[in-house]
Amino acid sequence: MIQREEILGRIERVRLAARQQRWDGLLVVGRSFYDRVGHLAYLSNHFPPFPASPFVGHSRGLGHGLLLIPVNGAPTLLVDGRAYRKDLVAIDDVRADNDLVQSLIDLLTERGLGRSRLGLVGEDLFPRAMDRPLREALPSLILESADDVVATARAIKSTNEVALLRQAAEIAGQTLEAARAAIEPGVDERAVCAAGTAAGLAAGADFIRYLRVHSGPWAGVSSRWPQATDRQLVAGDLVTIDAIGAYQGYQFDVLRSTSVGAPTEEARRILDAGLRATEVTLAAVRPGVPVRELVRCALLSLDESGYAAFASGFVGHGIGLETVEEPYIQSGSEAVLAEGMVICVEPSIRIPNHGGCSIEQEVVVTRDGYDLLTTVAAQWW
């Protein structure tokens, strides 16, 4: 995994940013390892092992983690009472308690920060059930949004991060190939999902968060609960398989579309159009290109194929310690690609009650264009 020295270097960079904003420090929030751990893991190497749970009695904050980084002094990590990986966590001062609310109040008071101005990293993760008693106990404390400080740093991956993401993408490929091998008429979606999940875990995945198997009319739906059903595959069905999980904390997200058996003429047109849109979009990837240009390329390609009416304006996203990170590749984005970003490119065709297609590729933006991280073949028909 990412070594202690790299984590400590990240801490010093965000500490400098905090000083420039005249904050007294940063308070970083994270949730369970398979949920929204990104900011916390990036700055501590801690992955909360327990699911985020209701605040009841003195159990307030299970499945969360809090990292305090003062501009002066050592950082402190607050974890719930579950075991944590002492061999991995890069923070020396770690305090475990199932009542993270009281632990945070006590820590801020101890460090003389009860009347301070802190940047809050992970504002959308900070529970109201934690915020309210904190403000009641420390009414002079000021918390200001600081997500951009860490999100900007996380968007550009280090050499070590790219290596982990490359291995994660390899595991995604093995997951998808096993799922693909299970596709045949009469097999249900759950069996395909089970085959892929088992292969991904055997290949070294930390977990498979889900392996989405959508067939027939569901193949054109971007997401559905549950991930797979007992619907039996029918010859000629379009099938969409989306593998999402992680390797040593770093995520993979690779999507493939195909048909059950030989595709019909119409299904082939849909699949060919989806693949072409991905290829055209990737051709535009290089540093300095506005994200909206990728969206324009994807939509133009689908328009030329005759599927503009069924095209999604969401064409992809960044990936790293979380499945979906900045930048969002969607209409209206002001983001610009930069060397070192790792993105998932996934134009899609979604035809209601009929089917669809999306071919997702993970790439790292390089000086002259991009390097493909995905190893599994793009064309399955």
Residue 377 domain-assigned? no
Residue 380 domain-assigned? no
**Which of 155, 170, 202 is at the close of a domain?**
155
Same domain, 206 and 319: yes
Domains contained in the chain, number: 2
Same domain, 354 and 243: yes
275: Cα within 13 Å, side-chain hemisphere: 14
Does residue 231 have a pLDDT over 90?
yes
Query: Would you say the C-alpha torsion 301, 307, 313, 318 has a positive or negative sign?
Result: negative
Same domain, 102 and 12: yes
Same domain, 196 and 276: yes
Name which of 160, 148, 164, 162 is nearest 340 in CA terms: 162
Same domain, 166 and 139: no
The band of 136, judged by pLDDT with boundaries at 50, 70 and 90, is very high
- CATH number, domain of 249, equals 3.90.230.10
Tens-place pLDDT, residues 3-60 = 999 999 999 999 999 999 999 999 999 999 999 999 999 999 999 999 999 999 999 9
Same domain, 324 and 361: yes
Does residue 159 have a pLDDT over 90?
yes
Give the pLDDT score at 351.
97
Give the pLDDT score at 1.
84
Same domain, 110 and 195: no
- Structural domain for 292, as ranges: 159-372
In this prediction the pTM is 0.97
Q: Report the distance separating Cα 299 and Cα 310, nearest Å.
A: 10
Q: Report the distance separating Cα 28 and Cα 49, nearest Å.
A: 17
Tens-place pLDDT, residues 303-330 = 999 999 999 999 999 999 999 999 999 9
Same domain, 194 and 140: no
The band of 68, judged by pLDDT with boundaries at 50, 70 and 90, is very high
Give the pLDDT score at 80.
97
Same domain, 81 and 185: no
Average pLDDT, the chain: 97
Tens-place pLDDT, residues 170-195 = 999 999 999 999 999 999 999 999 99
Give the pLDDT score at 120.
98
Name which of 283, 246, 256 is nearest 359 in CA terms: 256
Would you say 34 and 46 are in contact if contact means Cβ atoms under 8 Å apart?
no
**Which of 155, 182, 197 is at the close of a domain?**
155
Residue 381 domain-assigned? no
